[in-house]
Amino acid sequence: MKNLFLIIVCSILIINCKNSPKEAAKKITTDYINNNTELDSLMQTCFKRGIFNGNILVLKNDSIIYKNSIGFADGSKTKSLNQNMLFNIGSISKEFSAVSIMKLVEENKINLDDEISKHLPNLPNWSNKIEIHHLLNYTSGLPRYNWDKVRTDEDVYNDLINIKKLETEPGTNFMYSNNNILLRKMIIEKISGNSYNDYVKENLLSPLGMESTFLSPLTQVSELAKGFSDQPNNEEQTTYDKMSGGTYITTNDMYKWISGLHTEKIINSKSKNILNTPFTTDYYTETSLGASNIKNGEMTRHQHSGSHVNYEALIDHNLDNGLTVILFTNTANHKLWKIDHTINSVVHNNPYLIPNHSIKEAIQEKCKRNIKVGVSYYYQLKKENIEAYNFDDQRELNNLGYDFLQKEKIDDAIAIFELLVSEFPNSANAYDSLGEAYFTDKNYDLALKNYKKSLELNPKNSNAKKWIETIEKT
């Protein structure tokens, strides 16, 4: 179960800027443009701390108030980034498949309550239970696939057709599985008669003028920010994805997508709100458009993040106050949400905080080699250098645990979630995550124990309730 982002504790000086009468005449933008120096100071500090290397674009009411390229284009650190460089945006690219589905719905070519077997008749019997809308809100019941074992769409499909039964009944439980994405793409191809990539280019990218957006499999491109890491034994990412639909994009094109989506240039408002409706509001669940705020039935904030190997991306589009933040990095440090929060504070003249180093990044390589050594190193850092890392953010360990879980390194995931529980004994989310790991390991007794503890700590946790019911029926 994913956490909502938390705020770190560490303040810095706020720089005050005064407006001249001439500047005051430009009231629509000056209040925000005067924050440029402070935003630049913030981002340069993040670079020096080793928590941001990438491109940033910030807009207020469609006007750019800050943009920059900070850091290096690859692991050699001899080539600087520039605004024309492409970054992989990870899961944000899933918006394209979701919007494509809704476009086909608007054209009356499919219905959301269609069983997927209607359009994909060669799948196993479980396809008779799954409806298209289950693919959009991640409630199909399909398990996750192992990223270490799949490289192409064909690999994923072969894995998919060998699934004997669903993890849960469709429509009953949320599970963030990329198998949902493959099925979306397959339906789009079947209905349109085109490849998924061609459909997206023709119906989404071209109408919005997104000429600096490329879908994988990616051929050689000159302006590519290559993912790399300063962690030991972590090689630069030089190969391109072999699966369709992965997206490499500039920050400018990313804003074209955000603007086009929210001005209904591709799909209408009703379709957009369907994509933005979570499975439940009792706990955090990803929607097809990430995490969002809804007011009076309308979307008021669009937030989405994604990662792929050493790439990370974040978009935060606030329709209430007109602020848009786009952050791309090719050296993942899992700090983009915190940087985004700080940017929002700077722009609106609120006290703000600068993130510390990522404890996840600090221990993950040791954990991969030997989980016991990695956990010991965690305690060592906490004892010797507690102020340099953010030990108060449980998302750090939670995300690391899910990294292992998605790669089917279940014992390592359990070890990290056990550490998470010991560090945050009053967190319902921590026990929820540990329960999921034990469930994946088919240790149903311990899964039940931890889900019950999660529910005890948070009686409103409907996710725990549903998994408890599922286990007790098993």
3-state per-residue secondary structure call for 302-359: EEEEEEECCEEEEEEEECCCCEEEEEEECCCCCCHHHHHHHHHHHHCCCCCECCCECH
pLDDT value of position 281: 67
Asked whether the predicted pLDDT for residue 334 surpasses 90, the reply is no
Asked whether the predicted pLDDT for residue 266 surpasses 90, the reply is yes
23 pLDDT band, cuts 50/70/90, is: very low
Q: Which residue has the tokens 């931890």?
A: 450
Domains and CATH numbers, the chain: 359-473 (1.25.40.10)
439 pLDDT band, cuts 50/70/90, is: very high
When pLDDT is averaged across residues 424-432 and rounded to a whole number, the result is 96
Strand pairing category for 291-295 and 298-308: antiparallel
pLDDT value of position 99: 98
pLDDT value of position 121: 94
Residue 341 in contact with residue 333, Cβ under 8 Å? no
- What is the C-alpha separation between 97 and 101, in angstroms, rounded? 6
Question: Which tens digits make up the pLDDT trace of 42-54?
Answer: 999 999 888 899 9
Q: Model's pTM, two decimal places?
A: 0.76
Report the chain's C-alpha Rg in angstroms: 22
Distant-in-sequence, close-in-space partners of 158: CB < 8 Å, separation ≥ 6? none
The DSSP letter of residue 203 is: I
pLDDT value of position 388: 77
Question: Which tens digits make up the pLDDT trace of 83-122?
Answer: 999 999 999 999 999 999 999 999 999 999 999 999 999 9
pLDDT value of position 283: 62
